[in-house]
Amino acid sequence: MYPQLAIEAAAQSDVGRRRSRNEDSFAALPCVGLFMVADGLGGNAAGDVASRMAIEVVKSCFEEEEDLEETWPYGTASAHDRDEVRLVLSVRRANRAIYEASRKQKEVRGMATTFAGVLLGAGMAYIAHVGDSRVYRMREGKLERLTQDHTLLEELLRDGSCSPSAIEALSDRANAVTRALGCAESVAIESRVEATAPGDVFLLCSDGLWGPVPEERIAGVLRAHGELSLAASLLVDLANEHGGPDNVTCVLARLGGG
């Protein structure tokens, strides 16, 4: 969609040290400015199928330039608005595809996945996410998280009405995902638009990275290593050094120019 943009990209995914299969999926498509991570939910049937479907459906919406006919005023919106709408509607289509496949096929019934996607356009980054896969931006040496997890803990913290003792009592349920693609016929997709600057690095990752690895360690790797393929590999290694409790996936994209 934006072939004129100079975008470097790299991605790495690993099963981790405690899982028997990798249920994460990802795509890095600098030719269209699209980057995605999906994490099939642990304990749900066919999480790997759901995550792969999410990536493939969204990818097809951009590579094939499909018309996403929906209730949004797509045709009359500005170019920037259309890009945000297109990303959100493609994720909505992925949710519907996963949900319908889950209903029709007994072997994948109950499958679901998180999703985080970034579409890089001219001067703008369009972000859409569902669940606890995250998007970060590294700018001038500072790492900033651009998404808020859809988990029980974070939603209680945002609400502000839950006491510290109640939050502590959540224990293992604190990180339970409160929304995901494929759980229902419709899903609330969170989106935002950010102005970009030359040199911005966007990191998309599953919780297999940000869960065991402190954000400052992640930032340190990105500050120290400008070669994105090396940085991605080192981030995965860090997750495994911290026990590798889950599948780990990271996608990196850096804007050139300036």
- The answer on pLDDT for 72 being more than 60 is no
Domain assignment of residue 258, yes or no: no
Greater pLDDT, 78 or 213: 213
Q: What average pLDDT does the structure give for the chain?
A: 89
CA 70, 75, 77, 83 dihedral sign is: positive
Domain assignment of residue 1, yes or no: no
Domain assignment of residue 174, yes or no: yes
Domain assignment of residue 54, yes or no: yes
Structure tokens at 59: 């990818």
Domain assignment of residue 2, yes or no: no
Specify the CATH number for the domain of residue 128: 3.60.40.10
Tell which phi-psi region holds residue 256, choosing left (phi > 0), alpha (psi between -120 and 50) or beta. beta
pTM, to two decimals: 0.90
Domain assignment of residue 178, yes or no: yes
Structure tokens at 251: 């996608």
pLDDT category of residue 91 using cuts at 50, 70 and 90:
very high
pLDDT category of residue 1 using cuts at 50, 70 and 90:
very low
Give the per-residue pLDDT at 163. Answer: 61
Note the pLDDT tens digit of each residue in 131-148: 999 999 999 999 999 999
Range of the domain at 204: 7-252
Domain assignment of residue 20, yes or no: yes
Q: What are phi and psi of 211, to 5 degrees?
A: -65, -60
